Amino acid sequence: MRDAKFLFLSDPLAARGGCDLVNLRMDRRTTEQKKGNCFVHVFAAAWFVWAGNGVGFCQSEPELKKVLEVPFVHGRISVNGILDEWVEYRGVSLSARTGDDESPSRAFVRTAWDEEKLYLAFRVKDGNLFAHETSDAGTPWRDDAVEVYLSVAPEEVSEGKLSPNEYQFIVNLNGAVGSCRGTSLGTRDHSWDADILSGVRWKGSLNDSAGEADQEYTVEIAIPWQALGLEARSNVELLVDFAVTNREKAETTTEDLLYYDWAGLEKFGNPTRWNRLILRRAPVSGSSELVGGEKSGLSMGKDLSGEQGWVGRVIGLILFGLVIVLGWMAYWKEHNRNNHVASEARRGNDASSAELKNERRESSFDEVSEGLQVLARRVKQILEQDYAGDLSASSVAGRLRVSERHMRRALKGVEGQNFSKLLQEIRLKKACQMLVQSDRSISEVALEVGFGEQSYFSRLFKKRFEMSPSEYRATNCGGVKGR
């Protein structure tokens, strides 16, 4: 569960700019190499568009997201683990990915909301009920438990890490609650406490290895909007993932646990892959789901992956044909142009040949210039996004699949700065924003923008702005001084 999937392009910026980066080294290729490789690149790009993989050329979205529309609460919900009042509410189903229709564990999640809380109800089919942790400060995720992942700022999510806008909640069969919040450094703050409400019930015998009477368990959770820093209203959109931890034995290790979730991930803490959750004031219609011949009263969430998937493939097929045609046209144009140049040279028309060669050389320079601009822009995007991390020229060049020397040449030619100076400038500008817009101490600001020592940060800051960080804050915040 905790290992990330392998991607065709490991960096999201490189994935979005894949087609631009293909031509970064055009200056090192001969005319014949360009002619031969042009069609290969065009065909590969067309194939990825048609196949809809989302991790290759020019795909900004890795995959289509499912959508769950959440209705407003009709009356009162008692958070006690009894799901009688949930019959009319909408939800989704999850199942363990074992490749077997007779899955050992399956879950049904329903949701509702009001102005104060987001409500969730889990019904989990489980033939072996185990839970030993009773403390909120312990490890409830090593028991039979349910998890909720939320992002209140879908437009600001980051690949593979939780930010301060993302939250995680865990409740096991003993009612032990675990909660954490992301940080600006991409880590998790487990000391954060949302003070959520929860209720748990089960059918069977808890921690009985025989487990002959074990059937299922239910969990209700109420998460205050205030804890999430969000004002709930109709049409507000969040990102969400629901997950279940299934423990099959009394004595077990982390490797023995079975995890499954709604988004179908192996690494749950990846907000860019979570599904969409939309609050609706009006009642939301939907069909009920049959489980084991018994109607569960569960309305399924709207899953757009099938419908949009076919639409996307049809559009992709049309684009595939267009790209093939354009690719052949470009190929033959280049082919005829080369033949024309060769013919003029054979006739001994030195003037015409020289003119054509100069034209081709100028075109090559333009391509190099454009490629360097694209590369410099990608580097700057990475630095502005991950400025607080431990960045080096070699690591950034590796993420973009280019040589460090080529990257440095692009930065020097386009930005007029080397890698270290550009990163330093970005960090100092971010520090200025934090000094004005927050009450963090100078040392906290230095740490959050990527400087390990306050003294070094203050020295660079004063050299750049001709005043200390405290003086800058006082000047720009009406006299409010940093701690």
* Fold classification of 67-303 (topology level): Immunoglobulin-like (2.60.40)
The pLDDT assigned to 318 comes to 93
67-303 shares its CATH topology with 420-476: no
Sheet holding 197-203, edge to edge: 197-203, 216-224, 117-126, 105-113, 90-95, 294-300, 288-291
The pLDDT assigned to 122 comes to 95
Q: Do residues 136 and 176 make contact, with C-beta atoms less than 8 angstroms apart?
A: yes
Q: Where are the alpha helices (DSSP H) in 347-415?
A: 350-385, 393-399, 404-414
Name the nearest CA neighbour of 237 among 274, 275, 279. Answer: 279
Quote the mean pLDDT of the chain: 75
Calpha distance 378→402 (Å, rounded)? 11
Task: Please report, for the chain, the start and end positions of each structural domain, with discontinuous segments joined by +.
Answer: 12-61+308-416, 67-303, 420-476
CATH code of the domain made up of 420-476: 1.10.10.60
Q: pLDDT tens for residues 189-205? A: 888 887 899 999 988 88
DSSP 161: B
Q: pLDDT tens for residues 378-425? A: 998 998 888 888 888 899 999 899 999 999 988 888 888 899 999 989
Q: With 50 as the cut, is the pLDDT of residue 100 above it?
A: no
Contacts 24+ apart (CB under 8 A), 268-271: 268/1, 268/147, 268/149, 268/241, 268/243, 269/149, 269/160, 269/161, 269/162, 269/166, 269/168, 269/188, 270/4, 270/159, 270/160, 270/161, 271/149, 271/151, 271/157, 271/158, 271/162, 271/163, 271/166, 271/239
